[in-house]
Chains A and B, each alone.
Chain A
Amino acid sequence: MTAHLILTWLASAVVAGTPLIFAAVGEIVAERGGVFNLGVEGMMLVGAVSGFIAAVHTHDLLAAIVVAMWMAAMVSLLLAVLTITFGTDQAVTGLALTLFGAGLSSFLGKPYIGVPSPVTFHPIAVPGLAHLPVLGPVLFHQDLLVYASYLLAPLAWVLLTQTRPGLALRAAGEDAATADALGHNVAALRYLGVLVGGALAGLAGAYLSLAYTPAWTDNMTGGQGWIAIALVIFSTWSPLRAAAGAYLFGGVEALGFRIQAIGGTTPSYFLQMLPYVFTLAVLLVVTMRARRPGMPANLGRPYFREERYG
């Protein structure tokens, strides 16, 4: 009985962690290129609503995912143009992007509130692996997007640390002037980072509206975009640690639901606070260490070749 409870909790931790992996890895890619995108929450909302609308009209999950990623990337393009080309303040631009995404998603989603999705992601057991003790039910009885998330973090790690484009992107985030002198197009690399981050945030949103809680509700992300940003700091800008952290945060989120499910007496509002309070506590512990290794040195700094210094 207890073993079963723990297994279902772990399995739902993986599910709850999945959108966080998508969003956090996307934000790592953007920040490694030097752009701090505080619009994750807004981009997730746009992904969630556009993926849902596409699913309602096309009955095609793949099309829905493509639309969600495309739309969120287009929203992130706004931030890219403003911060990279026009050198606007990244923090305030990102915050406004979140407001914009929340408004846009609420506007577009209005007619779809309460509409059931004709198609959703369902768990598919991986032949063979699904019968492994413990690991089987936790990891290999999930939907396709969860399996995709298993591949994403290692893939991002390889791309960022083992390939030329990945190294060039990181150079643009660490020392833009030097990257420029080496012949890299800093602006193009940063645009790429932001767009990839946007697309992945869109995927995270689509996961919420098509798999996690298949429906559209206003502001359905409920702060997960911000938790993803905290996760980036927590992971010291490493996709692999971000994935591990995502499951930890997912576990905390799932814990609240489990406690309610088994009839705990704590008012649900306090259980819902858990993920936020846990994130706050983790941030506090992480930043109590003196230096923050891994933070891209030029993060948040606009780069104009004509105005470079040093």
Chain B
Amino acid sequence: MIRIERRAPLPPRAVVTLRLGGVALAFGLGAVFLTATGHSPLPAYLDMLRGAAGSSYALEQTVVKAIPLALTGLGVALAFQAGLWNIGAEGQLVMGACLASWAALTLPWPPWTLLPLLILLGLIGGALWALLPAIPRALFGTNEIITTLLLNYVALLWVDYLVFGPWADPSAFSFPYSRAFADAARLPLLAGTQVHAGALFVPVIAAALTFALRHTAWGYEIRVIGRSPRTAVYAGMPVSVDILIVMALSGAIAGLAGMGEVSGVIGRIQQGISPGYGYSAIIIAWLAGLHPWGTVAVAVGFAALINGGFALQTSGVPAAIASMLQALVLFSVLVSDFFATHRVIVRRGRPATVAAPEMRAQP
């Protein structure tokens, strides 16, 4: 007879240990998969480690990759705090990049105004794209999971249209990208590194979100809406307005990530500016428990994972292993969280040996 019952909450240190165990389990499962498909897991993982952090160049590239992951993760985490399933960070990133690129490519403004303008337009592009599904959500309760997600596909096709059509670089023989931005529209590199100044967005946004969510009445309101929308309505909170504000902010942060990519990394707009940052963002935010600084930390870890995956390709292992590992990490951590609050009892009254002894709290 197997029974599952709730246990007394574990001390935070044990929860952390359990979660790290979950991450280890994910890599263990990944190793089993690699072995089963004819690859050697240990050299593969070492290659990944080298690709992610083996040199100062690799480390800097990991930081560069962490910027869009952290920003989209922060945007998604904000929406999740309010109970809004914004799965559209990918499209919001793309639309932010799009609007910023429009200014960079067409506006004959004085050079010194360009960067602030691009930042503003990146924010606006993402916010508008997020408002599209937010309005029906606020008015009719239209399920935002599917609407935000479908808009990702529309956004990607829109960029395809632009870079193959009106914005195509005339000298690029129909390669899917625009002409290069002027220098004034490029985010500078941080002194002595390969990391663009968009990295500064991350701590600013993380700090602002921490402050807003923890220390303002509005942040309290958002969290009430997220935990119990009905309570929020009965308490007279402006739920519909808050839905619009949260989604717009969430999209704006993702749009800023898109601006950072076109202005800081690529220097033009092209097909495939995001290899799925907006999707990884969901897992990142969830793993971080929706905490802003936690999201930044997990984003760095995932950036390492993705860059490690790219490094693997040279030894013949498809980079897609990185996506699988991201999902496996989430699965394993979800299971370890379960064991942080439950225990399995095999046969009446006899505790099972599912957890290490120091984690077994007495109820």
Question: Measured between C-beta atoms, what is the minimum distance from B223 to chain A in Å?
Answer: 17
- Which residues of the partner chain B approach A87 to less than 8 Å between Cβ atoms? 338
The answer to whether B150 and A306 touch across the interface, beta carbons within 8 angstroms, is no
Which A residue sits closest to B282, measured CB to CB? A95
The answer to whether B154 and A283 touch across the interface, beta carbons within 8 angstroms, is no
- Which residues of the partner chain B approach A91 to less than 8 Å between Cβ atoms? 85, 145
Assuming the contacts A82-B335, A106-B323, A233-B146, asked whether A95 and B87 have C-beta atoms less than 8 A apart, the reply is yes
- Which residues of the partner chain A approach B147 to less than 8 Å between Cβ atoms? 280, 283-284
A276 contacts the other chain (CB 8 A): yes
B124 contacts the other chain (CB 8 A): no
Which A residue sits closest to B139, measured CB to CB? A288
Partner of B5 from the list A108, A283, A306 (CB cut-off 8 Å) is A306
CA gap between A287 and B323 in the complex, in Å: 33
Partner of B164 from the list A38, A103, A106, A269 (CB cut-off 8 Å) is A269
- Which residues of the partner chain A approach B136 to less than 8 Å between Cβ atoms? 284, 287-288
Contact with B along A60-92 (1 / 0, CB 8 A): 000000000000000000100010001111011
Among the stretches A144-152, A209-217, A221-229, the one at the interface with B is A221-229
A5 contacts the other chain (CB 8 A): no
Most buried by B among A93, A103, A273, A287: A103
The answer to whether A99 and B157 touch across the interface, beta carbons within 8 angstroms, is no
- Which residues of the partner chain B approach A96 to less than 8 Å between Cβ atoms? 282-283, 326-327, 330-331
CA gap between A279 and B154 in the complex, in Å: 11
- Which residues of the partner chain A approach B160 to less than 8 Å between Cβ atoms? 269
- Which residues of the partner chain A approach B220 to less than 8 Å between Cβ atoms? none
Partner of B334 from the list A86, A270, A283, A306 (CB cut-off 8 Å) is A86
Partner of A99 from the list B5, B140, B326, B334 (CB cut-off 8 Å) is B326
The answer to whether B154 and A277 touch across the interface, beta carbons within 8 angstroms, is yes
CA gap between A284 and B135 in the complex, in Å: 10
CA gap between A301 and B145 in the complex, in Å: 17
Assuming the contacts A95-B87, A269-B157, A287-B136, asked whether A100 and B142 have C-beta atoms less than 8 A apart, the reply is no
Question: Measured between C-beta atoms, what is the minimum distance from A307 to chain B in Å?
Answer: 7
A157 contacts the other chain (CB 8 A): no
Partner of B157 from the list A78, A230, A273, A307 (CB cut-off 8 Å) is A273
CA gap between A284 and B150 in the complex, in Å: 13
Question: Measured between C-beta atoms, what is the minimum distance from A81 to chain B in Å?
Answer: 9
CA gap between A82 and B338 in the complex, in Å: 10
Number of A-B contacts (CB under 8 A): 133
- Which residues of the partner chain A approach B276 to less than 8 Å between Cβ atoms? 99
Which A residue sits closest to B285, measured CB to CB? A92
Contact with B along A193-219 (1 / 0, CB 8 A): 000000000000000000000000000
Question: Measured between C-beta atoms, what is the minimum distance from B336 to chain A in Å?
Answer: 10
- Which residues of the partner chain A approach B322 to less than 8 Å between Cβ atoms? 103
B149 contacts the other chain (CB 8 A): yes
The answer to whether A95 and B142 touch across the interface, beta carbons within 8 angstroms, is no
B286 contacts the other chain (CB 8 A): yes
The answer to whether B153 and A276 touch across the interface, beta carbons within 8 angstroms, is yes
The answer to whether A288 and B324 touch across the interface, beta carbons within 8 angstroms, is no
Categorize the interface residue count of chain B: 35 or more
Assuming the contacts A96-B330, A273-B157, asked whether A102 and B6 have C-beta atoms less than 8 A apart, the reply is no
- Which residues of the partner chain B approach A100 to less than 8 Å between Cβ atoms? 323-324, 327-328, 331
Assuming the contacts A88-B334, A273-B154, asked whether A104 and B5 have C-beta atoms less than 8 A apart, the reply is no
Partner of B335 from the list A86, A107, A284 (CB cut-off 8 Å) is A86
Categorize the interface residue count of chain A: 35 or more
A interface majority secondary structure: helix
From 242 to 297 in chain B, residues with beta carbon under 8 angstroms from any chain A beta carbon are 276, 279-280, 282-283, 286
The answer to whether B330 and A92 touch across the interface, beta carbons within 8 angstroms, is yes
Most buried by A among B85, B143, B320: B320
Partner of B150 from the list A82, A99, A104, A230 (CB cut-off 8 Å) is A230
A127 contacts the other chain (CB 8 A): no
Contact with B along A271-295 (1 / 0, CB 8 A): 0110011011001100110000000
- Which residues of the partner chain A approach B279 to less than 8 Å between Cβ atoms? 95, 98-99
The answer to whether B4 and A304 touch across the interface, beta carbons within 8 angstroms, is yes
CA gap between A111 and B111 in the complex, in Å: 48
The answer to whether A106 and B153 touch across the interface, beta carbons within 8 angstroms, is no
Assuming the contacts A82-B331, A283-B147, A307-B6, asked whether A103 and B140 have C-beta atoms less than 8 A apart, the reply is no
- Which residues of the partner chain A approach B99 to less than 8 Å between Cβ atoms? none
CA gap between A86 and B153 in the complex, in Å: 32
CA gap between A108 and B276 in the complex, in Å: 19
CA gap between A93 and B151 in the complex, in Å: 21
- Which residues of the partner chain B approach A108 to less than 8 Å between Cβ atoms? 37
CA gap between A131 and B145 in the complex, in Å: 44
The answer to whether A269 and B161 touch across the interface, beta carbons within 8 angstroms, is yes
The answer to whether B4 and A99 touch across the interface, beta carbons within 8 angstroms, is no
CA gap between A92 and B5 in the complex, in Å: 23
CA gap between A102 and B319 in the complex, in Å: 12
A110 contacts the other chain (CB 8 A): yes
Contact with B along A238-268 (1 / 0, CB 8 A): 0000000000000000000000000000010
B227 contacts the other chain (CB 8 A): no
Interface contacts beyond A99-B280, A283-B146: sample of 7 additional A-B pairs, CB < 8 Å, sorted by A = A38-B145, A87-B338, A92-B286, A99-B326, A103-B320, A230-B150, A306-B5
15 contacts between A and B (CB under 8 A): A38-B145, A78-B331, A82-B334, A86-B335, A89-B334, A92-B282, A96-B327, A99-B327, A100-B323, A104-B324, A110-B320, A233-B146, A267-B161, A273-B158, A306-B6
